[in-house]
């Protein structure tokens, strides 16, 4: 019996007509796992790839099914062409038809599988290292520390951009006055370099609204006043 390696099962087996029959499915998968993956001699004859020698009793012992359940499952598999069975006075030969669908050449043994998987992990590891280096370079990560976002350089707006934003806001700010003011002071807010010119426009709006409210109060339209 094969102790290492693997077989391939496609998800389409879910649509297989015997998939709902747990005994038949169990036996078929067991035969896939235990059939020869390469021709081997046995008592003067050759048991080919995809075949195995066994009795109903042996299969029952290996699967935990009864001999009656084994016989019924073999009839199912023979009827739909998945398995062939040849009985002689000395042995029974079970053949998994289309065995290559489930077991590809060159991937049979555990050592071969381990080597292949190890190579795949090595390639993935190298790619991960490259990706990590690229991320560290992008975010200036040093010694595994958290990424430090690089500050974006302020880009002063054009007059057309300021005009469009003022129209969008529906405010009474003069775009020309706004541009002249900040051009004259080097686009600074206080002593700091401006970071967001749209935020500066909104600040001008708030100041204008406050000044307008103060003017109304000075004219006698404060709280509790009655307008005519």
Query: Is the domain of 144 the same as that of 73?
Result: no
User: Based on the domain organization, do 121 and 42 belong to the same domain?
Assistant: no
Number of folded domains that form the chain: 3
Q: Cβ(68)–Cβ(36) under 8 Å? A: no
Average pLDDT over residues 93-100: 92
In a domain, 195, yes or no: yes
Provide the pLDDT for residue 220. 62
Residues 6+ apart with CB under 8 A from 29: 9
**Residue whose structure tokens are 């970071």:** 195
Structure tokens belonging to residue 86? 């040849």
For residue 96, give the CATH number of its domain. Answer: 1.10.10.10
Task: Identify whether 224 is part of a domain.
Answer: no
Are 86 and 35 in a shared domain?
Answer: yes
Whole-angstrom distance, CA of residue 46 vs CA of residue 69 = 29
Regarding whether 39 and 19 lie in a shared domain, the answer is yes
In a domain, residue 226? The reply is no
- Digit-coded pLDDT (tens) for 186-212: 999 988 999 999 999 999 999 888 887
Per-residue pLDDT reduced to its tens digit, 57-84:
999 999 999 999 999 999 999 999 999 9
- At residue 190, the pLDDT reads 87
Structural domain boundaries, residue 116: 111-150
Q: Is residue 64 part of a domain?
A: yes
pTM listed for this prediction = 0.47
Q: How far is CA 88 from CA 83, 211, 212, in A?
A: 17, 107, 108
Asked whether residue 194 is assigned to any structural domain, the reply reads yes
Residue 132 lies in a domain: yes
Digit-coded pLDDT (tens) for 104-142: 765 445 445 455 556 666 666 677 777 777 766 666 655
Q: Do 163 and 213 reside in the same domain of the chain?
A: yes
Residue 55 contacts residue 91 (beta carbons within 8 Å): yes
């Amino acid at each position: 019996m094969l102790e290492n390696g693997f077989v391939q099962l496609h998800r389409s087996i879910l649509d297989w007509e015997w998939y709902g029959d747990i005994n038949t499915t169990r036996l078929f998968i067991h035969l896939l796992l235990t059939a020869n993956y390469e021709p081997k001699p046995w008592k003067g004859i050759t048991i080919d790839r995809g075949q195995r020698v066994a009795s109903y009793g042996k299969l029952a012992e290996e699967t935990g099914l009864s001999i009656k359940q084994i016989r019924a499952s073999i009839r199912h598999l023979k009827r739909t062409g998945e398995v062939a069975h040849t009985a002689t006075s000395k042995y029974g030969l079970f053949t998994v038809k289309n065995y290559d669908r489930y077991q590809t050449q060159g991937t049979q043994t555990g050592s071969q599988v381990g080597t292949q998987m190890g190579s795949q992990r090595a390639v993935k590891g190298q790619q991960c290292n490259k990706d990590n280096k690229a991320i560290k370079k992008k975010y200036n990560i040093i010694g595994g520390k958290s990424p430090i976002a690089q500050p974006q350089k302020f880009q002063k707006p054009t007059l057309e951009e300021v005009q469009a934003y003022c129209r969008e806001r529906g405010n009474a700010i003069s775009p020309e006055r706004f541009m002249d003011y900040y051009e004259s002071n080097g686009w600074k807010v206080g002593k700091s370099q401006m970071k967001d010119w749209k935020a500066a426009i909104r600040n001008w709006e708030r100041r204008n609204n406050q000044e307008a409210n103060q003017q109304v109060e000075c004219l006698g339209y404060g709280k509790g006043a009655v307008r005519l």
